[in-house]
Amino acid sequence: MTKCKLHLIQSSEGVARAARLAESIWREYYTDILGKAQVDYMLAHLQSAEAIRRQIMQEAYCYFLIEYDGDLIRYAAVQEQEESLFLSKLYLLHSARGKGAASQVLAELERMAREKGLPRIWLTVNRNNRNSIAIYQKKGFRILREEAAPIGGGFVMDDYIMEKELDEEAHGS
């Protein structure tokens, strides 16, 4: 089985690569779910190199480029919070789906959370993103609630908040 490798973004080139991946992934996958106008807005304001750099420098996000079988296929971003790890972003190129990469990345993020003594991982996922919701549920996440959050430009993120409790034994509590 091919192993995913997570590379912590620590350079301007890494930020630029994540922004390029965002451009490809978001246009390919989210236009049907959110519409072109909202995707354009989100890419410009939340997924651009400038936005990613700000999130890393000012908001304590850790961004990762994810390599699978020698190719950069996805990116992820997490933020350590008081009692949890917030999985802010986990996006995969269409050509790399269905190969087990998501499972490997989620397992690695769980390992990271446990090492930090964080008992849970939580995330937001668009309520119309049925494929991702099903994957997260299969991996032990449960829907806590619905949330509609304005993001500017007249757009709203219409999400589920999902959470996975990590077993006590595995993180040493």
Q: Catalogue all structural domains in the chain, each as residue range(s) with its CATH number.
A: 4-171 (3.40.630.30)
Q: Pick the closest to residue 162 from 153, 132, 154, 94 (CA basis).
A: 132
Tens digit of each residue's pLDDT (9 = 90 or more) over 136-165: 999 999 999 999 999 999 999 999 999 999
Tens digit of each residue's pLDDT (9 = 90 or more) over 117-132: 999 999 999 999 998 9
- 173 pLDDT exceeds 60? no
pLDDT band at 113 (very low <50, low <70, confident <90, very high): very high
Residue 75 exposed, middle or buried by CB count within 10 Å (0-12, 13-18, 19+) = buried
Tens digit of each residue's pLDDT (9 = 90 or more) over 55-66: 999 999 999 999
Average confidence (pLDDT) over 102-111:
90
